[in-house]
């Protein structure tokens, strides 16, 4: 059996995904054949993977990023169970890339054995094929109300004999209590697999932190494998970068004389909002996620991103006054872009008997198209062109353009010449995610958007390569792991498992069955 490791966290967004990616990149650079794994992910940010049968399937975007850190193509087995929330009460279940069911609190208990069996089988296959599999947990392993059916955190570790490290975000405060409490709430058999800790997002003098690390070691019998610093450049593919009011990344100074201000509406059920990260890599482009109508009024370009629930988020736009701000922006002749669900909201009407089951609802009426939802989900990688410029992307949607003004020009064209999306004046729409990762297309779009917005001093840089920016981010993660973690100790842990003499920390939860 190959070596393995589970990266658990004290909370959601503690840094599990980026630490997993960093460890993967470190191992890959050592020449280790390594793969990532997350048994179950709950996220509306997904990537399209082409399966062995040639069909497209979905996995969590974080696992696609981790695969890139390993230097390998993404695989459906890297994230066998993906839950895509459509509301507070229900999520679509994607099993080995394919949408198979809808899960609620009421039926999850009955569905869970099937999901666990699929996850365990996928991990076994990966461990047979790779030298090391670095697994990422979900939420916290100390969610004791969910432990009995857990197959993502300590349930997975117990099943596969995985040594476990717990990462905590010190930027939130209370990290020592969270780490101690995480171990102390586990039953003795689970505690036996928790080998130590990693501190994430530290700012300041490490000397001031050291006494706390020493005390944590004394009271738990477990070392801290290292302290990762807070770093401004770690924002690509990180879901916690998509917060309200947050400017993505560190915008570089304009290549020309003008900035281009981009406002992205932070929808309640936003999906694949990482599409706008490609825009944010360009010098002079400032991208902010917002829920403030005033910020839309001040923006040069407004983006309506993807949504897992188009009709519900369209209603939210109207309730919050953002719909009026979007239409006013378009009426002023300023550029507006809709991507996937955002494109669907721009239509005259949306016919949805599938996701919301609300039938026909009026859209924003900014594009002369109608959208109809089909029970069959389109999941595929796409390639084509825009005005002769190559474009690649991927599609994940139930809705399709069922009616369109025949004179309406498409935004993109598939390789066979078929049109996709639409453009009318300064209003643009497409179902393609990832299109702006195509560098020349992104530059042309931003140049046109800046001209339309009156930012005549804006110039796109000729040398921004998005794929290179992503690789630099992954290399930075690998550098941070090598520089700040005890990699020799980590390697021994991966190869030999958790030490046999780890103490039990009271009170400990009752043993699970």
Question: Catalytic site residues?
Answer: 340, 433
Name which of 379, 19, 378 is nearest 167 in CA terms.
19
Burial of 109 (0-12, 13-18, 19+ CB in 10 A): exposed
Structure tokens at 281: 């890599």
The beta-strand segments (E) located in 282-388 are 285-290, 301-304, 306-307, 336-339, 349-352, 359-362, 369-386
Which residues 6+ apart lie within 8 Å of 203 measured at CB?
Answer: 171, 229, 230
Name which of 402, 401, 265, 419 is nearest 336 in CA terms.
265
SS (H, E, C) 48-114: EEECCCCCEEEEEHHHHHHHHHHCCCCCHHHCCEEEEECCCCEEEEEECCEEEEEEECCCHHHHHHH
Give CA–CA dist 319/361, Å, rounded.
15
DSSP letters for 171-203: GGS-HHHHHHHHHHTS-HHHHTTEEEEEEEEE-
What SS3 class is residue 220? helix
45 neighbors 60 (Cβ within 8 angstroms):
yes
Structure tokens at 171: 């930027």
457 neighbors 256 (Cβ within 8 angstroms):
yes
C-alpha separations of 108 from 45, 92, 93, 116 in Å: 21, 11, 10, 12
Give CA–CA dist 304/290, Å, rounded.
11
Q: Pairing relation of β-strands 260-265 and 301-304?
A: parallel
Give CA–CA dist 45/376, Å, rounded.
19
Q: Is the peptide bond before 74 cis (omega within 30 degrees of 0)?
A: no
Give CA–CA dist 157/218, Å, rounded.
24
């Amino acid at each position: 059996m190959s070596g393995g490791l589970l990266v658990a966290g004290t909370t959601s967004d503690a840094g599990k995904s980026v630490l997993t990616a960093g460890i993967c990149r470190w191992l890959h650079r050592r020449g280790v054949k390594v793969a990532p794994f997350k048994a179950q992910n709950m996220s509306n940010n997904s990537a399209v993977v082409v399966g062995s049968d040639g069909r497209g399937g979905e996995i969590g975007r974080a696992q696609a990023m981790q695969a890139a850190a390993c230097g390998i193509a993404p695989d459906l087995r890297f994230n066998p169970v993906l839950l895509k929330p459509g509301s507070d009460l229900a999520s679509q279940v994607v099993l080995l890339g394919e949408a198979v069911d809808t899960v609620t609190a009421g039926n999850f208990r009955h569905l869970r054995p099937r999901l666990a069996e699929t996850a365990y089988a996928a991990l076994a296959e990966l461990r047979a094929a790779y030298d090391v599999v670095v697994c990422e947990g979900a939420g916290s392993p100390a969610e004791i109300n969910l432990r009995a059916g857990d197959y993502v955190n300590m349930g997975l570790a117990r099943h596969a004999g995985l040594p476990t490290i717990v990462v905590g975000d010190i930027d939130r405060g209370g990290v020592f209590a969270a780490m101690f409490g995480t171990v102390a709430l586990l039953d003795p058999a689970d505690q036996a697999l928790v080998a130590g800790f990693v501190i994430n997002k530290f700012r300041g003098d490490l000397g001031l932190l050291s006494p706390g690390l020493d005390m944590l070691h004394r009271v738990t019998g477990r070392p801290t494998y290292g302290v990762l610093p807070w770093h401004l450049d770690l924002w690509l593919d990180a879901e916690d970068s998509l917060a309200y009011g947050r400017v993505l990344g560190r915008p570089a100074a304009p290549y020309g004389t003008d900035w281009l201000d981009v406002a992205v509406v932070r929808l309640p059920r936003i999906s694949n909002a990482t599409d706008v990260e490609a825009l944010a890599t360009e010098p002079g482009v400032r991208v902010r996620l917002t829920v403030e109508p005033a910020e839309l009024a001040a923006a040069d370009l407004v983006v309506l991103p993807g949504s897992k629930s188009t009709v519900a988020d369209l209603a939210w736009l109207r309730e919050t006054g953002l719909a009026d701000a979007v239409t006013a922006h378009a009426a002023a002749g300023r550029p507006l872009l809709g991507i996937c669900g955002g494109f669907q909201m721009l239509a005259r009407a949306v016919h949805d008997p599938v996701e919301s089951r609300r039938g026909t609802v009026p859209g924003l009426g900014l594009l002369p198209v109608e959208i109809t939802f089909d029970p069959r989900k389109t999941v595929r990688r796409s390639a084509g062109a825009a005005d002769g410029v190559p474009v690649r992307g991927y599609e994940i949607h139930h809705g399709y353009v069922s009616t369109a003004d025949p004179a309406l020009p498409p935004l993109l064209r598939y390789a066979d010449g078929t049109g996709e999306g639409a453009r009318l004046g300064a209003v643009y729409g497409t179902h393609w995610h990832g299109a702006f990762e195509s560098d020349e297309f992104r530059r042309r779009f931003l140049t046109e958007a800046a001209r339309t917005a009156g930012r005549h001093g804006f110039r796109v840089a000729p040398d921004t390569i998005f794929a290179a920016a992503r690789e630099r981010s992954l290399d930075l993660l690998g550098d941070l792991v090598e520089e700040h973690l005890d990699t020799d100790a980590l390697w021994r842990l991966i190869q030999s498992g958790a030490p046999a003499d780890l103490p039990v920390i009271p009170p400990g939860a009752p043993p699970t069955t």
